[in-house]
Amino acid sequence: MISSALSSSRPRPIYLDCHATTPVDPRVLATMLPYFTEHFGNPASSTHEYGWEAEAAVQQAREAIATSIHATPEEIVFTSGATEANNLAIKGIAEAYASKGRHLITVQTEHRAVLDPCRYLESLGFELTVLPVQGDGLLDLEKLTQALRPDTVLVSVMVANNEIGVLQPIAAIGALCHAHSVLFHTDAAQAIGKVPLNVRAMNIDLMSLTAHKVYGPKGIGALYVRRRNPRVQIASQFHGGGQERGRRAGTLYSPQIVGFAAAVKLALAEREIETERVKGLRDRLWQGFQTLSGVHLNGHESQRLPGNLNLSIAGVDGQALAIGLQPLVAVSSGSACASAKREPSPVLLSLGQSPELAFASIRFGVGRFTTAEEIDRVLEGAIGVIESLRKQQFSISLPPRLS
């Protein structure tokens, strides 16, 4: 049933949900394929050439990913994705530094992969401060300064928000943390390959990464863990093999790791040109929506990811709009991890949006394979659907006629 549905001859929707995931670039796939068949060895097998080949490929990938963020290969821990990397960073630091302090700081607009581990630690007796953001989605550094305490062991603030694309002042946050001898973790899942990342210059101690947001495979990510000034300790959350210098057990998935590195290298090589192209398409989409009344941009106007456009459209339910657009375009009304829940986005509420406008939000993620012609088709179709939904809403809202 599923395979027959997928093989339907109907045209596929235009894909504008690149914050949820991205397709694997064919160039990345071509790099990965030999490691499923010919070079299939276990990187930990040290007595024969199959293992040596796999281990060499993993080491080259580790070096490429480290170079992309100005780290060293020894500071890269491979994980199953950014969610595991976030859990390893937050829980690993809390456990390793519990004798120093039991206070954590994060932000309301963080992904649940950060908020949920923090809440879990809170249930174990740690103290948690969740800071608000300003109306544009940016963290107020003065509020962060006031929240820091002698027993604060970790601050976690993401580079780029997965819903509204806002870019936080990471270097300033990192400098503030280091001035107070507090470790700084950032979730860079949405940022890798799209904005410059330098763990040294930005005073970052731990950074979570993933491949599938940057045209690499799903199921592979990494955690950067600083080795010098300061040397960061983390308590392993996976046990049973001693891989990754004892920080994360489990057989390394060499095809995925090779694909991750290939995706990152491609993104860096093409970032300057691609940033301008994607931003131009995003702005084209935004200009088209501004022909409608009651359209609100969510998040900072310029300090955001080049491909992100998050709008609230008054009088239109965002999920209804996303469903209404489905034959033409695949988009999301919020975070992919929470899209099945019918509740206003906590990220948009944290910006001061009313529940009505938060429900009226829709997120467009423009990507590498998006074309100008597709943007124009989406605009034409979306404006028609919005006008139709508004008419329906208006007719439902009319009071019954008196006889």
Residues classed as catalytic: 337
* Rounded Cα distance, 396 and 400, in Å: 10
Q: Which residues contact 80 (CB under 8 A, 6 or more apart)?
A: 219, 220, 221
Tokens 């300061």 correspond to: 230
Q: Taking the CA of residue 315 as centre, how many other CA atoms within 13 Å lie in the half-sphere pointing to its CB? A: 17
Answer for the pair 361, 345: CB distance below 8 angstroms, yes or no: yes
- Three-class secondary structure of residue 311 per DSSP: strand
Cβ count near 48 (within 10 Å):
10
* Rounded Cα distance, 282 and 289, in Å: 11
Would you state the structure tokens that stand for residue 153, as one six-digit string? 């062991």
- Three-class secondary structure of residue 99 per DSSP: coil
Would you state the structure tokens that stand for residue 65, as one six-digit string? 């990913």
